[in-house]
Structure 1
Amino acid sequence: MRFILRAISLVALVVAVMAGTIDAIQSVSASEPVLTPLAVAWSTASPDTIALVADGIMHNLHPYAWDPAAMWVLSQPAFAVLLAVSLFFWMLAYRRPSVAGRFAA
C-alpha cells in the first residue's frame, strides 16, 4: 500500500515540477509572473475528466462541495496544488524509523 501511495506522490511531484517549469518559462518570456490555475491546466490536458470529476462530486457528495471548495482549489496555481497533493500522499506513506536504530534486533 505504501508503494502505491509513494508512486502517486512521485507522479504528482513530477507533474508539479513540469507545471512550475512551464510557468517559469512563461514568466520569463512575458517579463511578469505567470501562474496557471489548476482548472486551466487540467482542462487543457483532459477536458473530459474535469467534467467527470465535477459530476461525481455533485452526485456523490453535496453540490456545495463543488462550488465553494473545489472551485477555490481549481483557482489556485497548478504547481502549488500538485505539490500539496504530493506532500499529502508522501505523508500517508511515511513510516517512522525505528527508535532502536537500523541494526536493532
Structure 2
Amino acid sequence: MAYTPNTAFSLTQRALAPLRTPAALPKPANMNGAPVVEEAVLRDTLRHFGEYGLGAAGKALETAEAAFTRGDRATGHHWLEIGRALDRRGAARLERALSLV
C-alpha cells in the first residue's frame, strides 16, 4: 500500500478518533446539592438581577414579604423563589420569620 498524503491523513484521523470523543464531564464543584430552579423562575430571576444588580436578592425578599403581609400567597411564593435563587439563607430567614416552614 502506497502512502499518499490522503492515506497518511486518513490514518492519522483514525488514530486520533478515540481522543475526539467527548468524555463524560464530572459534576461541577459548585453543585453542592442546591435545588434545581424551574426555568420560569430562573428567567424571572435573571431579569430581576439585570434590573437591580447586587441588591436584587434583598428587593425580591422585600417584595415577597410585602405580598405575604397583604395576603397574596401566590405572589409571595413567586418572589420567595426568586429570592431563594439569589440568596438561599435570606429566603430561609424570611420563611422562619413569616412562619412559612
TM-score, normalised to structure 1, is 0.27
> Higher relative CO (CA 8 A, sep ≥ 6), structure 1 or 2?
1
Q: Structure 2-normalised TM-score?
A: 0.28
Name the one with the larger helix percent: 1
